[in-house]
């Protein structure tokens, strides 16, 4: 047996031949017997991807407009990313945090440069995910000596215990309480409420430029600037969570820069690795030095392979003009969805290639699944889209989220736009027995 054949046998999916005797149903059954039921039954089992498309175990192709939840910034199997990861893994795959590597240092320098931080004006802590990046930011806040933190209702910062404490979604918080204490929630976008909540005991304010999991809700114009003024006045850190919005997703390297502010901490993840797990907590100014030796750590953070992936993504975004592409294709999607004039479309929110299509309830009664469970209008549209070979996400009961690869072009966007009217019509005219 050749080495390639041996690896393919060990890791099903490296070769399509591995799926010759199995299909979605068979793999889904195996999934249900071997994985914890934290996500429910998978909608499909995917076996390969290329660009903005993926294929399932039945051989069907899908246009991926979710991008692995805003992760696959360069799409699937991007040649530069594949080459960078392969070359680094063949050179040096991992070292402990007693040592440093060139990719780790170079990526930290690159992120600080993109934030326009002067030399010595910021420092980076690398983690493995967005939740871990926000955990580090929470610990930075604790190191100020102040006991309290303010975050926004509807915000999402992760599911680890610390990040969950910052997340303004009671349904996912309450089952795990008591959580780390001292967090107050205020209405998102309400500068007066924020000002009233911040005082001399407030260590930090955590905000997203666009609440992705909250339904793709952008901060109102001037809100982040007001937050910066409020926190500066109180000597409080402003932490901007760019886990979903950063690295070009909204048409800028970082979404907060559109308001011309300089936060104290920026957290990024998702699109930074283009599919390879990585997160970063970037401290600026005084926040850069609040975590010292022994205050925090991670085994895999700053891994040279993950860092090489991050460098490749940043290079490709810049080389291929993907910031401009995100703005142009996002504007095209927004305009054309609104131009449909469909009665189920109430509006389009978001920036760049992070968009939320707001839906009205269909003129029928509430819809129900075959099992009798209530099915929201957004879930119905997402299900219809999947059946038509398009992956989107019902992020809230009335909102469809689009977070495609930043390489999505107009022709691919038009594939979705051409299909959308029939998807909406199918939901609005469902047979009575399916309602």
Binned at pLDDT 50, 70 and 90, residue 300 comes out as: very high
Instruction: Tell me the C-alpha distance between 154 and 213, whole Å.
Output: 8
Report whether pLDDT(368) > 60: no
Report whether pLDDT(21) > 90: no
Closest CA to 343 of 331, 357, 361: 361
Would you state the pLDDT for residue 166?
A: 98
Same fold, 43-72+321-434 and 82-319: no
Closest CA to 198 of 140, 161, 247, 151: 151
Report whether pLDDT(365) > 60: no
Report whether pLDDT(373) > 70: no
Closest CA to 239 of 215, 218, 208, 270: 208
Contact 267, 283 (CB under 8 A): no
pLDDT above 90 covers a percentage of the chain that reads 89
Report whether pLDDT(208) > 70: yes
Per domain, the residue ranges of the chain are 43-72+321-434, 82-319
Would you state the pLDDT for residue 8?
A: 65
Tell me the CATH number for domain 82-319. 3.40.640.10
Counting every residue written for the chain, the total comes to 435
| pLDDT tens digits for range 263-293 | 999 999 999 999 999 999 999 999 999 999 9
- The predicted model scores a pTM of 0.93
| pLDDT tens digits for range 349-362 | 999 999 999 999 76
| Residue 207, token pair as written in the block | 């905000």
Compute the average pLDDT of residues 288-302.
Answer: 96
| pLDDT tens digits for range 328-342 | 999 999 999 999 999
Instruction: Tell me the C-alpha distance between 191 and 181, whole Å.
Output: 23
Would you state the pLDDT for residue 432?
A: 40
Contact 196, 202 (CB under 8 A): no
Query: Is 43-72+321-434 a CATH 3.30.70.20 domain?
Result: no
């Amino acid at each position: 047996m050749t080495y390639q054949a041996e690896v393919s046998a060990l890791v099903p999916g490296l070769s399509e031949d591995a799926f010759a005797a199995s299909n979605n149903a068979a793999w889904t059954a195996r999934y249900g017997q071997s994985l914890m039921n934290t996500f429910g039954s998978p909608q499909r089992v995917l076996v390969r991807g290329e660009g903005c498309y993926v294929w399932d175990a039945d051989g069907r192709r899908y246009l991926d407009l979710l991008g692995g939840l805003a992760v696959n910034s360069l799409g699937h199997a991007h040649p530069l990313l594949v080459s960078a990861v392969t070359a680094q893994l063949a050179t040096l795959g991992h070292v402990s945090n007693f040592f440093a590597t060139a990719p780790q240092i170079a990526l930290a320098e690159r992120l600080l440069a993109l934030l326009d931080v002067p030399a010595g004006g910021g420092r980076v802590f690398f983690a493995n995910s967005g939740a871990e990046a926000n955990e580090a930011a929470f610990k930075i806040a604790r190191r100020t000596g102040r006991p309290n933190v303010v975050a926004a209702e509807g915000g999402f910062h992760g599911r680890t215990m610390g990040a969950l404490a910052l997340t303004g979604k009671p349904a996912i918080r309450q089952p795990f309480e008591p959580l780390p204490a001292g967090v107050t929630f205020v209405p998102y976008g309400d500068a007066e409420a924020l000002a009233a909540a911040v005082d001399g005991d407030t260590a930090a304010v955590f905000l997203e430029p666009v609440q992705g999991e909250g339904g793709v809700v952008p901060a109102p114009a001037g809100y982040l600037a007001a937050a910066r003024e409020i926190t500066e006045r109180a000597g409080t850190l402003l932490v901007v969570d760019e886990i979903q919005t950063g690295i070009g997703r909204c048409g800028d390297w970082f979404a907060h820069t559109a308001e011309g502010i300089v936060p104290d901490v920026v957290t990024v993840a998702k699109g930074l690795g283009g599919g390879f797990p990585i997160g970063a907590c970037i401290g600026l100014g005084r926040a850069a030095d609040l975590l010292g030796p022994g205050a925090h750590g991670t085994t895999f953070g700053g891994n040279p392979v993950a860092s090489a992936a991050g460098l490749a993504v940043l290079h490709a975004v810049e080389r291929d003009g993907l910031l401009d592409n995100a703005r142009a294709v996002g504007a095209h999607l927004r305009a054309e969805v609104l131009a449909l004039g469909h009665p189920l479309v109430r509006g389009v929110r978001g920036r760049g290639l992070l968009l939320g299509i707001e839906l009205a309830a269909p003129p029928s009664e509430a819809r129900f699944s075959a099992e009798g469970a209530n099915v929201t209008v957004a879930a119905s549209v997402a299900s219809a889209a999947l059946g038509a070979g398009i992956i989107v996400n019902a992020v809230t009961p009335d909102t469809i989220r689009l977070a495609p690869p930043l390489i999505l072009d107009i022709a691919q966007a038009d594939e979705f736009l051409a299909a959308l009217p029939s998807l909406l019509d199918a939901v609005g005219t469902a047979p009575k027995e399916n309602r």
